[in-house]
Chains A and B, each alone.
Chain A
Amino acid sequence: RKEVEQDPGPFNVPEGATVAFNCTYSNSASQSFFWYRQDCRKEPKLLMSVYSSGNEDGRFTAQLNRASQYISLLIRDSKLSDSATYLCVVNNYGGSQGNLIFGKGTKLSVKP
């Protein structure tokens, strides 16, 4: 089975801290990579796509290392509102059409 592995956490950090999540994937043919955010008892929502050159959206930076097959998400200046579970998502290239493989998620708790 194609898999996506994440550290489940929880990561407990103070406001203002910088926190990094890593994710590894097993399908070397995968071409699309995403970070989704899921609040407690809510649906997952796209946080950002991850591009080969790396990309940034405000306080969030995503990196992709194809050679090592890992993806990272860096959150700077953490806010209380960043508390959520972050899902690493990879397309299952070569598998079913439209098939995304979801990691189990890393839980982040930002404390005052």
Chain B
Amino acid sequence: NAGVTQTPKFQVLKTGQSMTLQCAQDMNHNSMYWYRQDPGMGLRLIYYSASEGTTDKGEVPNGYNVSRLNKREFSLRLESAAPSQTSVYFCASSELGGGGQETQYFGPGTRLLVL
């Protein structure tokens, strides 16, 4: 099993450009998450999907949209990138999505630089 995979690994954007970060998991998990990690800030939840067909905002959703394409895939879109969105983005998944009771498995991350 590959676990959680993310593409791309690294991306440079200019301010105002758009892009979609892809995430897929092969563990048959119900819940998927997008986090960003900034120096000195820790991991912060952007959006999550408790199950296929549902998505909800996390702590820092502004400037992002998500799509739960199917049970395996959860994408994160930046419609108009800003320098403040320079960060490392992690996708994660968990089996049941029951209120943070269980382990989350993380992908390797996407490093995004917005100029």
Contact = CB atoms under 8 A, between A and B. Distances in A.
Interface of A: 1, 4, 31-32, 34, 42-46, 49, 87, 91-93, 96-100, 102-105
Nearest to B91: A43
Contacts of A103: 42
Interface residues of B, number: 29
B100 A93 contact: yes
Contacts of B57: 96
B43 interface: yes
Given A98-B31, A98-B97, A104-B41, A43 B50 contact: no
Interface in B73-115: 90, 94, 97-109
Contacts of A4: 42
A31 B101 contact: yes
B48 A102 contact: no
Contacts of B100: 32, 91-93, 97-100
A99 B59 CA distance: 9
Contacts, number: 70
Contacts of A104: 40-42
Contact of B103 (A42, A46, A97): A46
B108 A96 contact: no
Given A42-B108, A96-B56, A34 B31 contact: no
Given A96-B45, A97-B100, 6 more contacts: A46-B103, A46-B105, A98-B33, A98-B48, A98-B99, A104-B42
**6 nearest CB pairs, A to B:** A91-B100, A43-B106, A102-B43, A104-B42, A102-B42, A98-B97
A96 B98 CA distance: 10
Q: Residue among B94, B97, B101 with the most chain A CB within 10 A?
A: B101
Contacts of B104: 46, 100
Contacts of B101: 31-32, 91
Given A91-B99, A105-B42, A45 B48 contact: no
